[in-house]
Amino acid sequence: MSGGERERVLSVPKELAGRLEASGYDLPVSRIQAGLDLNRPCLVVTGQGSSGYKIIEGSLPEAA
């Protein structure tokens, strides 16, 4: 989420599972597949990637 809005996250399954875990959610890598639709509130720290896209630099549980 960004300012209360949904964001699409492009990531490899292992990285996405790690970010979800850091946000307080347990989703095994084996359950992550292309097109998976997740609605999990969390707080993220964003930055600007070298390609010009917004990147997630860190994740926290929503209650943080």
Considering only CA atoms, give the Rg of the chain. Answer: 12
Predicted pLDDT of residue 23: 81
Instruction: Select from 38, 32, 40, 37 the least CA-distant residue to 13.
Output: 32
Contact 40, 20 (CB under 8 A): yes
Contact 58, 45 (CB under 8 A): yes
- pTM for the predicted model, two decimal places: 0.61
Predicted pLDDT of residue 30: 93
pLDDT 10s digits, 11-54 = 889 988 888 888 888 889 999 888 888 877 777 788 888 988 88
